[in-house]
């Protein structure tokens, strides 16, 4: 068995993190990594203590909101947002870190990653939000789509 490279290793972990997601549309997992150490993880879903969408139903489905649009019309947080929140909650500085995520970030998450000082983004699946990648590039944040075994 071949030992995985770092990108492959962390991308495989994002897949495991995504299994905790309570989103009915798309299960997403994210890691913030610095110096090859995981600082925080996040998956998409509703805030702590709020009824999950598998009980209430998906608001976005009910309103016929297409993927990649109207992010505010959702009861949940994105995996990247939850990873940033977990890092802040536990006092982990993420400036200079790398985001590994099952999916490319949306524009809202990209803006948060830029201001948080994340220096690189590695993602699996694409996401219908070209502005997010344009802003990452303009901010000098490198990014690439990982096409290894972890991508489905």
**CATH number where 19 lies:** 3.40.140.10
What's the confidence (pLDDT) of residue 74?
92
pLDDT given for residue 152 in this prediction? 38
Q: How far is CA 18 from CA 48, 54, 69, 78, 124, in A?
A: 16, 16, 21, 11, 12
Q: What is the DSSP letter of 3?
A: P
Is the residue at 151 inside a domain?
Answer: no
pLDDT at 149: 56
Going across the sheet that includes 29-34, the strands are 37-43, 29-34, 98-103, 120-125, 142-145
Query: Is 90 one of the annotated binding-site residues?
Result: no
C-alpha 125/C-alpha 147 separation (Å) is: 9
138 is catalytic: no
Q: Tell me if 45 is assigned to some domain.
A: yes
Residue in 80, 134, 149, 152 annotated catalytic: 80
Residue 126 maps to a domain: yes
144 is in an annotated binding site: no
- The per-residue pLDDT for 128 is 78
Do the annotations mark residue 74 as ligand-binding?
Answer: no
In a domain, 150, yes or no: no
Residue 10: inside a domain: yes
User: How many domains, in total, are found in the chain?
Assistant: 1
Pick the closest to residue 44 from 18, 63, 12 (CA basis): 18
Domain that holds residue 85: 6-145
Residue by residue, pLDDT tens for the chain (152 residues) are 789 999 999 999 999 999 999 999 899 999 999 999 999 999 999 999 999 998 999 999 999 998 888 888 999 999 999 999 999 999 999 999 999 999 999 999 999 999 999 999 999 999 878 899 999 999 999 999 998 754 33
Distance (Å) of CA 21 to CA 18, 75, 97? 5, 13, 23
For 24-35, give the DSSP string.
SS---EEEEEET
Q: In this structure, is residue 152 part of a structural domain?
A: no
Q: pTM for this one?
A: 0.92
């Amino acid at each position: 068995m071949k030992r995985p490279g770092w990108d492959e290793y962390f991308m495989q972990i994002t897949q495991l993190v995504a299994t905790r997601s309570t989103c009915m549309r798309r299960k997403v997992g994210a890691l913030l990594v610095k110096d090859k150490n995981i600082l925080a993880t996040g998956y998409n879903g509703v805030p702590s203590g709020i009824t999950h969408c598998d009980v209430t139903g998906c608001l976005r489905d009910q309103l016929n909101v297409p993927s990649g649009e109207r992010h505010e019309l959702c009861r949940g947080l994105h995996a990247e947002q939850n990873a940033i929140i977990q890092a802040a909650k536990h006092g982990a500085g993420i400036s200079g870190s790398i985001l590994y995520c099952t999916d490319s970030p949306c524009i809202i998450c990209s803006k948060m990653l830029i201001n948080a000082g994340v220096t690189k983004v590695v993602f699996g699946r694409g996401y219908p939000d070209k502005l997010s990648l344009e802003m990452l590039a303009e901010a000098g944040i490198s990014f690439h789509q990982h096409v290894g075994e972890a991508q489905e």
